[in-house]
Amino acid sequence: MTSLPETTGTPDTAPVAAGTAPLAAPQGWARKPSTAPTGSIPEHERMITDARERIDTIDDRIIGLIQERSAVSAVVQKARVEAGGRRVNLSREMEVLSHYRDALGKQGTTLAMTLLELSRGRV
Ligand SMILES: C=C(O[C@@H]1C=C(C(=O)O)C=C[C@H]1O)C(=O)O
């Protein structure tokens, strides 16, 4: 089976700060002429198909984790409401947003807001 290339070597851009999208591809991604025999599936097509299968598998895991997160969040919300509190706790939500922003940058905040909405509905 064709293995996916590792991303090696020094990127041709400096490491990007959190919240900044890297624009340039790492070195080693330059276009090469195809050496595939006529009529066969080109190497890059197989590599893309393999990589997309991996992406679909990763996405399934992410979706499962989001569902698990929502279920755990619902337990916390229910317990608080049953104890006479509010379902939403904004200071805790700020911690969640900071966690994602620190790890992923500006889009991390957007992602965390979507996760919170999936976990507790719109406020
Ligand atoms: C789960 C909680 O309840 C709500 C849901 C949160 C979440 O899904 O992360 C965070 C804060 C609360 O608005 C909690 O307070 O921890």
Residue 95: CATH number of its domain: 1.20.59.10
Which atom of ligand 1 is found nearest the CA of 72?
Answer: 1
Residue 30 lies in a domain: no
Q: In this predicted structure, what is the pLDDT of residue 26? A: 72
Q: Measured from the CB, is residue 70 less than 6 Å from ligand 1? A: no
What domain range is 79 assigned to? 43-120
**Model confidence pLDDT, tens digit, residues 9-44:** 444 444 455 555 556 667 788 887 777 677 899 999
Residue 102 lies in a domain: yes
pTM of the model: 0.74
Whether this model's ipTM surpasses 0.95 comes out as: yes
Q: Rounded to an integer, what distance in angstroms lies between the CA atom of residue 106 and that of residue 49?
A: 30
Residue 114 lies in a domain: yes
| CA–centroid distance, residue 47 to ligand 1 (Å) | 41
| Short-list 83, 89, 85, CA closest to 120 | 89
Q: Give me the number of domains the chain comprises.
A: 1
Q: Measured from the CB, is residue 92 less than 6 Å from ligand 1? A: yes
| CA–centroid distance, residue 90 to ligand 1 (Å) | 8
105 Cβ contact list (under 8 Å, min separation 6): 17, 18, 19, 20
Residue 65 lies in a domain: yes
CB 100 within 8 A of CB 112: yes
DSSP H or E stretch at residue 23: none
The protein residue with its alpha carbon nearest to ligand 1, atom 10, reads 93
